[in-house]
Amino acid sequence: MTTPQIHPSILSADFARLGEELQKIPTADAVHVDVMDNHFVPNLTIGLPVVQAIRRATNLGIDIHLMIEDPDRWAPTYAEAGAESVTFHAEASAAPIRLAQQLRATGARASMALKPATPIEPYLDMLGELDMLLLMTVEPGFSGQAFLEMVLPKIRRARQAISAAELPVALQVDGGINAETIERAAAAGADTFVAGSAVYGAEDASEAIDQLRTLAARGHRCPQTPTRSTAS
Ligand code: DX5
Ligand code: ZN
């Protein structure tokens, strides 16, 4: 498991001032860009031209999260636009293994996402085709939703499978990650954390990133952390 990676999501940034918003997160490990098409999820965000503009505006790695139908057709174009990593949803892909191989062939990292109710087990045999697995901890579509505790056992099962196979697959979580939840997600085995409102809703985005990283590292040191907070 790598040291905790913090990927702020620009979905919670001010889209009218994207350049400045990117400058607020110099210590991020990458910037997470949510692409939604109003079909796979009930929200419409940004597409390729904006991703190309982001590529020009920052030196940070770009972590694309495609919440779109037919990623088999569109995902490679995001890799060609200079994204370091492209995540497609398993629920939307007709041929996830072929798509992962195509993404890797462009030089990008191939990543696959699962919605909270999608089980990991049918996909365990294809972990070797992936550089990252994203387990959604909210139903995809919007920032600011509450972390779904029910995903924690799936995070543990995924971590177990990745460790058992000795694969260098990053395990990302996305949705409701904040100072209250990140430690539990880390203790369950996640190593890459998307945070939208927890970073862009904070007074000081850099400070929020540092705090999240520290809490995640604490979770990694205490893998026995209870799955539910006892705080009321
Ligand atoms: C939701 C997106 C997330 C979103 C997370 O579907 O995939 O990346 O920006 O926002 P928070 O961290 O506020 O839940
Ligand atoms: Zn996302």
Across residues 83-110, what is the average pLDDT? 98
Q: What's residue 164's pLDDT?
A: 97
Tokens of 176: 């409701």
Tens digit of each residue's pLDDT (9 = 90 or more) over 193-230: 999 999 999 999 999 999 999 999 999 998 854 444 44
State yes or no: is 210 an active-site residue.
no
The atom number, within ligand 1, closest to the CA of 147 reads: 14
According to the model, what pLDDT value does residue 76 have? 98
Report how far residue 69's alpha carbon sits from residue 54's, in angstroms, rounded to the nearest whole number. 23
Q: Which of 196, 175, 207 is nearest to 10 (CA)?
A: 196
| Position 127 pLDDT exceeds 90 | yes
Q: Is 34 a catalytic residue?
A: yes
Q: Can you give the pLDDT at residue 2? A: 84
Q: Which two tokens stand for residue 24?
A: 């607020």
- Of 37, 131, 174, 191, the active-site residue reads 174
List residues forming the annotated binding site for substrate: 9, 65, 141-144, 174-176, 196-197
pLDDT (tens digit per residue) in 23-35? 999 999 999 999 9
Ligand 1 mutation target, pool 15, 145, 148, most atoms within 8 A of CB: 145
Supply the pLDDT for residue 39.
98
Query: Which tokens in the block code for residue 147?
Result: 């972390």
Q: Which ligand is nearest to the CA of 40?
A: 1
Per residue in 133-184, pLDDT (tens digit) is 999 999 999 999 999 999 999 999 999 999 999 999 999 999 999 999 999 9
Q: Is 232 a residue whose pLDDT tops 50?
A: no
Q: Is the dihedral of CA 204, 5, 12, 176 positive or negative?
A: negative
pLDDT-derived band of residue 62, with 50, 70 and 90 as boundaries? very high
Report whether pLDDT(93) > 80: yes
Predicted structure pTM score: 0.96
Q: Which atom of ligand 1 lies nearest, measured to the CA of 197?
A: 13
Binding-site residue set: 9, 32, 34, 65, 141-144, 174-176, 196-197
Percent of the chain clearing pLDDT 70 (strictly above):
96
